[in-house]
Chains A and B, each alone.
Chain A
Amino acid sequence: MKAYIALIKKEARENWRTYKTPLLVAVFILFGVISPLFAKLMPEILKQLATTGVKITLPPPTALDSWAQFFKNMRQMGLLVLVILFSGTVATEFTRGTLINLLTKGLPRRTVILAKFTMTTVLWTSAYALSVAITTAYTAYYWTMPTYHHLILTFSGPWLFGLLLISLLILGGICFTTTIGSLLTCGGAVILMTLINIVPTWQASNPLTLITQNLALLTGKLAVGDFWPAALVAVGAIVISLGSSIIIFDRRAI
């Protein structure tokens, strides 16, 4: 436990000094601001595009458009920034050989993986929560918020998917000991999930549902029961990838 807390502190300091924490926070504040702005500007943008006499009549943007933008930004950019920022979290330990001293002095190897996962999770959770809070504040200021369905479950979707990506980054780093290995493991998993999504009967249990069906869940078009299988598969995948990271790391020479 002592070693675990010490490593958590080390991770926190490292993430701060390599600018990962400030960058993550700045980018996610930015996403929080951009999402409602885009929703508000969308009619203007379309008006500018429709110069050739085509008349586009749009209903005025609503709070739901703001959330649609939010989930789109998270899906396309937010998770990408998360993956890029933490792609080297395991690999740098191998390339710099910083773990050798600690491990030969008797630090359990699983502690390293669990501490890394914990610290990255804490950062991701705070950045994501900050982003949700900022978008909520703007949306409530500019629009009237209707009553939503399954708020907590909807917003846990991208968060849980983020955790899945973090665990895959760690697994990739342990398997290939390079930053590229981490990135490819993550990218490969996302491509695999996209391919699985083609089969309609498998869609429900595909973790990709967690980041694509948020609006349907928010408006009540999708029942909670349709969301759970994907969430459970994601949790299972996180546990499996962390578990196999620990097993592989125990057998790996550093």
Chain B
Amino acid sequence: MKIGIDYLPFLIPLIILQVGLTAAALIHILRHKTYKHGNRLLWVIASFINIIGPVLYFVFGKEDD
């Protein structure tokens, strides 16, 4: 698909947010050994699910500190 300059105002914030969400979840997963539910492999895969993956990790995977 041809992506013209027309789409740039959309793509820049979109990419920053999507990558940011996944990166934040991934960093948190890899820095912690134990999780509330699930295991590391599950959460690493889940963090790549669009939008909902990182949200699910921070709610159901991240342990309360």
Contact = CB atoms under 8 A, between A and B. Distances in A.
A81 B51 contact: yes
Interface string B14-50: 1001101100100000000000000000000000000
Tier of interface size on chain A:
20 to 34
B54 A29 contact: no
Contacts, number: 58
Chain A binding surface SS class: helix
A177 interface: no
A208 B59 CA distance: 26
Interface string A2-37: 000000000000000011100100110110011011
Chain B binding surface SS class: helix
Interface in A31-46: 33-34, 36-37, 40-41, 44
Minimum-distance CB pairs A-B, first 8: A37-B10, A30-B17, A19-B58, A33-B14, A33-B13, A26-B17, A81-B55, A84-B59
Interface of B: 1, 6-7, 9-10, 13-14, 17-18, 20-21, 24, 51-52, 54-56, 58-59, 62, 64
